[in-house]
């Protein structure tokens, strides 16, 4: 149980275009989803916390207008990278937490974004 999927697994886009990444909890409802970014040989950096039905909370230094997050249902959150640039190329990972009163969160397999 507790499977989280991401789609697509990898995407290549041209500079200036927008890319949407989906994160789904397959066998549980996720009250909260988290989006991370990971550059090569670096750690995971939290970008934003997404709660179903409310606006996402962004970490300091993360542009909310560039990284649009929508958590429309208890099983789906999307991250849209708008007007992507080569420096946005990274590994984007989501995680999903099943409840308010638990620290447990389950990670997706990640999405490799390459902006050319």
Tokens of 48: 């934003």
Other C-beta atoms lying within 10 Å of the C-beta of residue 49: 16
Which residues 6+ apart lie within 8 Å of 28 measured at CB? 1, 2, 96, 98
Min dist. Cβ of residue 97 to another protein (A): 5
Min dist. Cβ of residue 87 to another protein (A): 20
Residues 53-112 that bind another protein (CB under 8 A): 57, 91, 93, 95, 97, 100, 102-103, 105-110, 112
Out of 28, 34, 35, 67, the residue judged to bind another protein by CB under 8 A: 34
Tell whether residue 46 is a contact of another protein (CB under 8 A): yes
- Sheet-wide strand order for 19-25: 4-7, 19-25, 76-81, 67-73
Which parts of this chain interact with another protein (CB under 8 A)?
Answer: 4, 6, 32, 34, 42-46, 49, 57, 91, 93, 95, 97, 100, 102-103, 105-110, 112
């Amino acid at each position: 149980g507790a499977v989280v999927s991401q789609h697509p697994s990898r995407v290549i886009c041209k500079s200036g275009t927008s890319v949407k990444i989906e994160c789904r909890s397959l066998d549980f409802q996720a009250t909260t989803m988290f989006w991370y970014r990971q550059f090569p040989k670096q750690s995971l950096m939290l970008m934003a916390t997404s709660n179903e039905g409310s606006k996402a909370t962004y970490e300091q230094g993360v542009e909310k207008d560039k990284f649009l997050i929508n958590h429309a249902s208890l099983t789906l959150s999307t991250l849209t990278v708008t007007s992507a640039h080569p420096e946005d190329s990274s590994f984007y990972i989501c995680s999903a937490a099943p409840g308010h009163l638990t620290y447990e969160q389950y990670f997706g397999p990640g999405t490799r974004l390459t902006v050319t």
